[in-house]
Amino acid sequence: MADRRDFYEVLGLRREATPDEIQRAYRRLARTYHPDINKNPEAEDRFKEISEAYDVLSDPDLRKRYDAFGHDYHRVPEDVDPETWAGARSGRTGQRAGRGERVWFDEGGIDFEDLFDGMFGARGRRRWGPIPGADQEVELELSLEEAYTGVHRWLTISALEGTRSVEVTVPPGVTDGQRIRLVGQGGEGTGGAAAGDLYLVVRIAPHPRYRVEGRDIHVELPLAPWEAALGATVAVDTPGGEAKVRVPGGTSSGRRLRLRGRGLPSPRGRNGDLYAEVRVMLPSQLTEEERHLFEQLAATSTFDPRSLS
């Protein structure tokens, strides 16, 4: 009997693959190699291989036996544990059993696949079954405000089946790159099979005022020289509304003032933070009184910013 490929290899999976990963791999490969879709002569054999691998790995009990016994999973009696089977395979099979003991034999040159196929018909010659719908993925661009508060949208999805509209409710606090799964909203299945899933990949559009990093939001905070020097409590705009921030005396440009929990909200866990980045600003034109006061400051102050470097 020709060597058979490992079922995990057939589906392109790790042995630790989750049930969802197994299902997605099968859907993707079935849409590629199904004989009704792919007319390549080799596609039929490939589809048989894919279907058998999926039938076993998608069934928790069969998968457990396959992991233990490999391609012998359907020959080994159900009450045999892996260690017993390993000993039997090393040469202790084929012996006469005592009363009440179960008996099994090595292949001894017999191709059990051919034997069972002759009795019951090969799995690969069954009628082609339904094909689950393919999963789809589209990008969903949101403004920062929409990501902060959540939004209700209608999306137009183009696929092989045509164009359709999908109603989407985006919860508050989604982040850039986050995937939202809409079960059953992907490609249509055939022969009564379930539709695939639709995955929305969130993209937060650039904002003229804010910069987003994960759940944290950064915004510039302009200060007058006297506010930075003396300290002040000033208002700062956030996507959730106005907030107050306390500026310590002696604050220089570039200092970041943190407002805990005023970033993007989190459905689970802690909200992001908002960082107000200080920019000390000067008037472009000074009045006579302002100029006089700055001249007085220059005459009396011993501060030298260049000596700090």
Q: What is the CATH number of the domain that holds 75?
A: 1.10.287.110
Q: Is the pLDDT of residue 96 over 60?
A: no
Tell me the average pLDDT across 144-157.
Answer: 91
Same domain, 146 and 231: no
Q: Is the pLDDT of residue 69 over 50?
A: yes
Which residues are 131's β-sheet partners? 190
Model pLDDT, residue 300: 92
Q: What is the pLDDT of residues 158-168, one digit of tens each?
A: 765 667 888 89
Q: Is the pLDDT of residue 256 over 80?
A: yes
**How many independent structural domains does the chain possess?**
3
Query: Which range, of 38-42, 145-149, 227-231, averages the lowest pLDDT?
Result: 38-42
Model pLDDT, residue 112: 41
Beta strands per DSSP E along the chain: 136-142, 151-159, 162-170, 179-182, 198-204, 210-213, 216-223, 232-238, 241-247, 256-259, 274-280
Model pLDDT, residue 102: 40
> Predicted confidence band at 28 (pLDDT cuts at 50, 70, 90)?
confident
H-only helix segments in the chain: 7-11, 19-33, 43-57, 60-69, 82-87, 112-120, 144-149, 225-230, 288-300
Question: Residue 140 carries which DSSP code?
Answer: E
Same domain, 14 and 121: yes
Token couple for 234? 């000033």
Residue 269 lies in a domain: yes
Tell me the average pLDDT across 104-131.
Answer: 46
Q: Determine the Cα–Cα distance for residues 22 and 239; give it in Å rounded to an integer.
A: 41
Model pLDDT, residue 61: 83
Model pLDDT, residue 263: 94
One-letter amino acid at 74 equals H
Mean pLDDT of the chain: 81
Residue 66 lies in a domain: yes
Which of 188, 204, 220 is at the close of a domain? Answer: 204
Model pLDDT, residue 125: 39
What is the domain range of residue 197? Answer: 136-204
Residue 309 lies in a domain: no
Same domain, 160 and 256: no
Model pLDDT, residue 86: 57
Model pLDDT, residue 160: 59
The dihedral through the CA atoms of 220, 222, 227, 232 has a sign that is negative
Residue 62 lies in a domain: yes
Same domain, 197 and 267: no
Q: Is the pLDDT of residue 127 over 90?
A: no
Model pLDDT, residue 308: 67
Residue 182 lies in a domain: yes
Residue 1 lies in a domain: no
Q: Determine the Cα–Cα distance for residues 234 and 251; give it in Å rounded to an integer.
A: 13
Q: What is the pLDDT of residues 240-250, one digit of tens each?
A: 899 999 999 99
> Predicted confidence band at 75 (pLDDT cuts at 50, 70, 90)?
confident
Q: What is the CATH number of the domain that holds 161?
A: 2.60.260.20
Q: Determine the Cα–Cα distance for residues 228 and 223; give it in Å rounded to an integer.
A: 6
